[in-house]
Amino acid sequence: MGELRGSVAVVTGAGRGIGRAIAEELAEGGARVVVNYSRSKEPAEELVEKISASGGEAVAIQGDVSDAGQAARLIEQTAERFGRIDVLVNNAGINIDRTMRKMSPEDWDRVVQVDLNSCFYTVKAALPHFVENGGGKIINISSFVGQAGNFGQANYAAAKAGIIGFTKTAALELARYNVCVNAVCPGFIETDMFAGVPEEVQEKIKARIPLGRVGKPREVARAVRYLIEDGDYITGQTLNVNGGVYM
Q: How far apart are CA 232 and CA 166, in angstroms?
A: 19
Q: State the pLDDT at residue 231.
A: 97
Give the model confidence (pLDDT) of 129-178 as tens digits. 999 999 999 999 999 999 999 999 999 999 999 999 999 999 999 999 99
pLDDT higher than 80, residue 1: no
Cα angle value 96/97/98 (rounded, 5°): 120
Confidence band, pLDDT 50/70/90 cuts, at residue 196 = confident
Give the model confidence (pLDDT) of 51-87 as tens digits. 999 999 999 999 999 999 999 999 999 999 999 999 9
This prediction has a pTM of 0.97
In degrees and rounded to multiples of 5, residue 38 shows phi and psi of -100, -55
What are the chain's domains? 8-232 (3.40.50.720)
Residues taking part in catalysis:
156
pLDDT higher than 70, residue 104: yes
